[in-house]
Structures are given as structure tokens and as C-alpha cells.
């Protein structure tokens, strides 16, 4: 009986006063634990990873801290953490916990969701894009767990960035993040720790061509959807040339390309249906509506020549451009901390969504495209994780302390 009571008291003491083992993880160990969660999108399954991060923050026992696991679909969740005084907008630190599919596992030297350290590198799906950055953001906040904050920190781990930012959109639509919730934002996407203040917007279109099937020996009895698609594809190349006439001083020109095609049912059947995917990377001067209008003009042009021509266009994926001015205070702070001028990028991020709710946001994180991002054997140099922690910690010191 005495031993049982003693054990109960010891467990109570440990629970109340001792830090759980997770808080003693170093940065690469935390990154490795995040990589172990298979958060491929589709389907997502980010909730377990978000719950792990929730427990990590609860283990830290931060003062003035609110931790919210935000479920928005089955097995899917974001994590939102607010640290510091309420009503004092400070710094938003954000990263996504979903990853692109690992593809053919046989192309990996080590299973993609079994992280492995080889020399000075950490390998695994999401090592660079972007679970190491998420770990660095968490560790930077942890550096200040015993400091009094003058302005608040918001940490956001989002789901679904790779398939249209549905996690962040759900956070905003559910009122978990509001306009001007932070003075400044940083997203830890892999930039090789370069400051990125602008990138193009992007729209992916799915275009379906409707024809009429017939035996391939009598093509005149049918309407060939693949041939109709080919006419449209040639017009896309012409549109790309026209779009080059308008140049953004930072981001260059809008580019548009046909990237996928799918059609036909059998080798001896005139195809009645064909689909193509058209990818467009837009400068701010070109909206998704403008590009849609250009595509509809192509349909009308061909239809005037061939009345049986039938095509329907829908937007599959869309994000806006990020465009933070060169002289913005956040950009100047970042340039001073990093010691180099800001840059622009060709890819998309969640930055424009934060910009939409009046949180000016830059992109800055460890990792780089050359680290096999979206390919097999993705990795990150461990030194970059620690460099990122130092950079994020300095932002916290300047803005929130």
C-alpha cells in the first residue's frame, strides 16, 4: 500500500514538474519525428502529425499559450498556437505538414517515411519541403519559453498546402486566424535561407473535349476529341507568345503550358472524350479570370471554323501572386538579419493567403530545390536547420521581445 501511494505521488510530481522527453529532442530529431508521419496529399492524414506537435507544445508549458488542434475533415487537421500577450499583434510563423506523394518507393535508398541521418544530411519525404523548417520554427519559439513577450507569436502548421491550401483556407473561414492577427509573417518554405518577397500566382485548368465515338475505319462518322484537343494545344503555344509581351519588373512574364493529356478508349475507336491540363504561372497583372477569358476565346475561335467543336473549361487549382514591396519594413528587417537582398521565386506558397488578410508575409526557410524536393531521396543539410533556428530566433527577438 505504501509503495503504491509512493508511486502515485512520484507520477504526480513527474506530470506536474518534469518536462516530458519530447522537449529534449534536438532539431534534427524533431524533424525526423515529423517525417515519420505519412502525410501525403492526397489523401492527407495530417491530423496525427498535428496532434504530435500539439502535444509537443503542451509539454513545453509555455506561459500565455493557447494550443488549438483544428480539425476540418476526417483525419485532417491544422495546428494553431498563440504565445504571448493577447491583442498585441506580433509575428506569425507558418509551415505546412503535408507532403507530395513519395512515388515509387523502390527509387528511394531508404524508405521515405523512415528518416535516416547519413553524414551531415537528414533523408526522408518532407526533409526539405518542409518538415525540417516546421521543426526549426518550433525550436525557435522554444528558445524563448522563459522570456516575457512584448508582442505575440502565432505558430501555424497547415494541412493541404500541396493541393490548394485547403487547411489554411479552413482556418481562416472558421475564424481561427483573422485580419491583421500579426504584424508580419514568415513561411518556412525551402529558399536556401534566402529572403523571398514575391512569386507568381498560378492557375491550373482542366479542359474537357467532347466528341462522338465511331469505328476508326469510318472516322467521318464520329468526332475525334483528341484531334480537337490538339487544335487547342497549338493555340496554347500561340497564347504563351502573346502573354510574353507584358513584363513584370520583378517576376518577368506570365507563362502557360499544356502539361497533361488523357483520352481514348481503344486503339480502333474514334475517341469521344479527351482531357488536358493547362498550367499557368501568372504575374500580378494577369488574373485567373483574364486567363480564363483567353482560353474561352480559343474555344470560340475554333468553333467558328468547326461548329461541332465542344470544349468545357474548369479551374482545378488556383493561387494568387505574392508581392511584398522591396522597401517594406519586414523585407528590410529580413535583409538586415540575413545580410543579402530579397529575391523572387517561380513557385507558389500560402503567402498570398496571409497577404489577403493583411498579414504581410515573406518566404524564408532551410532546404533548396536541389535537395530532391518532390523527388526520391529528398534530404536537408542538418546545419541549415540550425541556421534557420538562429534566423527565426532573431526575428522573434526583434519583433516580439
- CB neighbours (10 Å) of residue 219? 12
Phi, psi of 395 (to 5 degrees): -60, -45
How far apart CA 197 and CA 183 sit, in angstroms, is 15
Instruction: Assess contact for 92 and 171: CB atoms under 8 A.
Output: no
Phi, psi of 389 (to 5 degrees): -60, -45
The answer to whether 370 is a known catalytic residue is no
Could you tell me which residues come within 8 angstroms of residue 354 by beta carbon, excluding any fewer than 6 positions away? 92, 94, 185, 187, 360, 361
How far apart CA 40 and CA 126 sit, in angstroms, is 9
- Say which of 161, 166, 181, 248 is annotated catalytic: 161
Instruction: Assess contact for 199 and 322: CB atoms under 8 A.
Output: yes
- CB neighbours (10 Å) of residue 116? 15
The answer to whether 98 is a known catalytic residue is yes
- For the chain, the first-to-last Cα distance in angstroms comes to 50
How far apart CA 218 and CA 376 sit, in angstroms, is 46
E-strand spans in 10-75? 65-73
How far apart CA 373 and CA 125 sit, in angstroms, is 8
How far apart CA 194 and CA 381 sit, in angstroms, is 15
How far apart CA 140 and CA 329 sit, in angstroms, is 21
Q: Count Cα neighbours of 292 within 13 Å in the Cβ-side half-sphere.
A: 15
Orientation of helix 47-60 relative to helix 27-36, angle to 10°? 150
Orientation of helix 288-305 relative to helix 225-243, angle to 10°? 130
- Say which of 33, 47, 98, 189 is annotated catalytic: 98
**Look-up of cell digits 483574364:** 290
**CA torsion, points 79, 83, 89, 90, in degrees to nearest 10?**
-90
How far apart CA 235 and CA 276 sit, in angstroms, is 13
| Active-site annotation, residues | 98, 161
Amino acid at each position: 500500500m505504501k509503495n503504491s501511494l509512493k508511486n502515485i505521488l512520484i507520477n504526480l510530481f513527474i506530470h506536474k514538474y518534469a518536462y516530458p522527453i519530447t522537449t529534449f529532442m534536438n532539431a534534427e530529431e524533431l524533424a525526423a519525428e515529423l517525417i515519420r508521419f505519412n502525410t501525403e496529399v492526397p489523401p492527407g492524414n495530417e491530423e496525427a502529425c498535428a496532434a504530435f506537435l500539439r502535444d509537443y507544445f503542451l509539454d513545453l508549458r509555455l506561459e500565455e499559450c493557447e494550443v488549438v488542434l483544428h480539425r476540418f475533415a476526417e483525419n485532417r487537421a491544422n495546428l494553431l498556437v498563440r504565445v504571448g500577450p493577447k491583442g498585441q499583434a506580433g509575428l506569425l510563423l507558418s509551415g505546412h505538414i503535408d507532403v507530395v506523394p513519395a512515388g515509387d518507393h523502390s527509387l528511394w535508398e531508404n524508405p521515405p517515411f523512415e528518416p535516416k541521418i547519413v553524414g551531415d544530411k537528414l533523408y526522408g519525404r518532407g526533409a526539405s519541403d518542409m518538415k525540417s523548417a516546421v521543426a526549426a520554427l518550433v525550436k525557435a519559439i522554444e528558445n524563448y519559453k522563459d522570456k516575457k513577450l512584448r508582442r505575440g507569436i502565432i505558430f501555424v502548421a497547415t494541412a493541404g498546402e500541396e493541393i490548394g491550401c485547403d487547411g489554411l483556407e479552413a482556418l481562416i473561414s472558421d475564424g481561427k486566424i483573422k485580419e491583421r492577427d500579426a504584424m508580419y509573417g514568415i513561411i518556412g518554405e525551402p529558399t536556401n535561407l534566402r529572403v523571398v518577397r514575391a512569386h507568381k500566382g498560378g492557375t491550373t485548368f482542366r479542359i474537357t473535349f467532347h466528341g462522338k465515338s465511331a469505328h476508326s475505319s469510318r472516322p467521318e462518322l464520329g468526332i475525334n476529341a483528341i484531334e480537337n484537343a490538339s487544335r487547342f494545344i497549338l493555340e496554347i503555344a500561340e497564347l504563351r507568345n502573346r502573354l510574353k509581351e507584358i513584363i513584370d519588373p520583378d517576376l518577368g512574364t506570365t507563362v502557360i503550358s499544356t502539361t497533361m493529356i488523357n483520352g481514348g478508349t481503344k486503339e480502333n475507336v474514334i475517341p469521344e472524350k479527351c482531357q488536358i491540363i493547362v498550367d499557368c504561372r501568372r504575374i500580378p497583372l494577369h488574373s485567373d479570370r483574364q486567363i480564363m477569358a483567353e482560353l474561352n476565346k480559343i474555344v470560340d475561335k475554333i468553333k467558328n471554323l468547326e461548329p461541332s467543336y465542344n470544349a468545357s473549361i474548369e479551374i482545378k487549382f488556383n493561387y494568387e501572386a505574392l508581392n511584398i514591396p522591396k522597401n517594406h519594413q519586414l523585407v528590410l528587417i529580413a535583409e538586415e538579419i540575413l545580410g543579402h537582398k530579397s529575391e523572387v521565386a517561380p513557385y507558389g506558397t500560402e503567402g498570398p493567403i496571409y497577404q489577403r488578410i493583411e498579414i504581410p508575409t515573406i518566404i524564408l526557410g532551410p532546404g533548396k530545390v536541389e535537395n530532391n524536393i518532390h523527388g526520391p531521396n529528398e534530404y536537408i543539410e542538418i546545419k541549415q536547420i540550425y541556421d534557420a533556428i538562429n534566423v527565426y530566433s532573431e526575428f522573434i527577438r526583434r519583433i516580439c521581445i
